[in-house]
Structure 1
Amino acid sequence: MSGDAATPSAPVLRPARDGDIPQIVDLVQRAYRGEGGWTTEAHLVDGARAEAAEVRDMLASPAVHLLVAEADGMLQGCAYTRIDPADATGVVRAELGLFAVDPALQGLGLGSRLLEAQVEQLLGRGVDVLMIQVLQSRPELQAWYTRHGFVSTGQAVPFAGDPALLKVAGLGMDVMERPLALSPGVQPG
């Protein structure tokens, strides 16, 4: 039944706007620091996962594409990509981040839709490799990214936030990459 108030609308993917910032911050906080959903890091990290000023800076950057999934006026998911300049070999990488789906809607395919929409726009901008940093001690997240074409580079970097927020001292981030449109002979990593 179209128009039935009890039937939620399918989410529409669109670029984020300034007016979305409060909902983005809330969504990311619930997904990563809340008690529900399989993406929570509440047992590993304290504090805010994103701040309004950080999201505002993303929206202002021409290198960033921040995408949201919206239905019935509510944000259900978000993901950003930031394109880096080409490296010494000419490979263009982009970072995937601020990737969150409402915990009540996780497991329904919205994360896959957001990821593939980002990949499509990156291909149109000449990006060769999509990179993500995944918090260590999260094998279920790494497995999800592996199922979506990412491979571990074997590289680890320090935790991206304030290390004082870590509940597990020394926890870092594992780097994973997904080849998009690589030139012949170019390998991720």
Structure 2
Amino acid sequence: MSPRRIREAGAADVPRIVEIVEAAYRGRGGWTTEEGLVRGDRTSADEVAAMLAEPAVLLLVAADETGRVLGCCYTRRAGERAEFGLFAVDPAAQAGGIGRALVEEQVRRLQEAGVVELELHVLQGRTELIAWYERRGFSPTGETAPFPLDTALLADPSTRFDVLVRDLRSH
């Protein structure tokens, strides 16, 4: 199930973005779930709305032929680098190319804007997710980053994020 259209998110998309992100990260059934690893909400309407208002952020959504949003992701630019995140596809629509299309559209737009490196953080222990990103051109750096929220939300409070990067000059 490929998306019919990838576009910039708008305020009207916020509730659906939150729904998708919560289902993908905190629900059961999606292969990207962090169930059993992290407690609490993954995002909120206020957080997503703040992203939309931030000039350095590009929040994209993928929609089907009816216009229903099926996936989302954002990048936050800082000069020639960008951070990739809030990446989620509705669990009912996963494995249909939507995630790949979202990543590649972000990459295309970033390359046009002169960004040369895209960084993302993956919760440690998520080997299947890291492998998926490696197939999309990302490479582990060997670096880690701390969990940005209260570590009491983690099943294992010592868990960190693995840092991956994609060189946008060669892809």
**TM-based fold match above 0.5:** yes
User: TM tier, shorter chain?
Assistant: over 0.9
SS in structure 2 at match of 1:83: strand
Aligned counterpart in structure 2 of residue 84 of structure 1, from 58, 78, 81: 78
Q: Is the 8 A contact 1:11 1:76 kept in 2?
A: no
Name stretches of at least 5 consecutive residues in structure 1 with no aligned partner. 1-7, 86-91, 183-189
Do the aligned partners of residues 180 and 9 (structure 1) sit closer, same or farther apart at CA in structure 2, a change above 3 Å counting? closer
Calculate the TM-score normalised by the size of structure 2: 0.95
Superposed CA offset, 1:52-104 (max 9, x none): 1111111011110000011223210000000013xxxxxx1100100000111
CA-CA distance at 1:164 after TM superposition: 1.5
Q: Which amino acid in structure 2 is aligned with residue 77 of structure 1?
A: G
Q: CA deviation at 1:9?
A: 9.0
1:134-145 to structure 2, matched below 5 A, reads 134-145=122-133
Which segments of structure 1 move beyond 2 Å, counting only runs of 4 or more?
Answer: 8-11
5+ residue gaps, structure 2:
none
Residue 57 of structure 2 corresponds to residue 96 of structure 1: no
Which residue number in structure 1 is paired with residue 141 of structure 2?
153
Larger radius of gyration: 1
- Aligned equivalent of 1:75: 69
Matching of residue 63 in structure 1 with residue 51 in structure 2? no
Q: Please give the residue correspondences for 1:1-150 in structure 2 after superposition, counting only pairs within 5 Å.
A: 10-71=3-64, 72-85=66-79, 92-150=80-138
Q: Secondary structure at 1:176's aligned position in 2?
A: strand
Q: Which amino acid aligns with 1:50?
A: T
* Structure 2 counterpart of 1:15, one-letter code: E
Q: Is the 8 A contact 2:145 2:163 kept in 1?
A: yes
Q: Contact 1:29/1:49 (CA < 8 Å) preserved in 2?
A: yes
State TM-score, norm by structure 1. Answer: 0.86
The alignment partner of 2:40 has SS state of coil
User: What percent identity do the matched residue pairs reach?
Assistant: 51
Question: Mean Cα displacement is larger for which, 146-155 or 8-17?
Answer: 8-17
User: Is structure 2 residue 151 aligned with structure 1 residue 163?
Assistant: yes
RMSD: 1.4
CA distance in 1, matches of 2:143, 2:2: 41
C-alpha distance in 2 between matches for 1:31 and 1:47: 13
Q: Classify 1:105/1:9 alpha carbon distance in 2 versus 1 (closer, same or farther; 3 Å).
A: closer
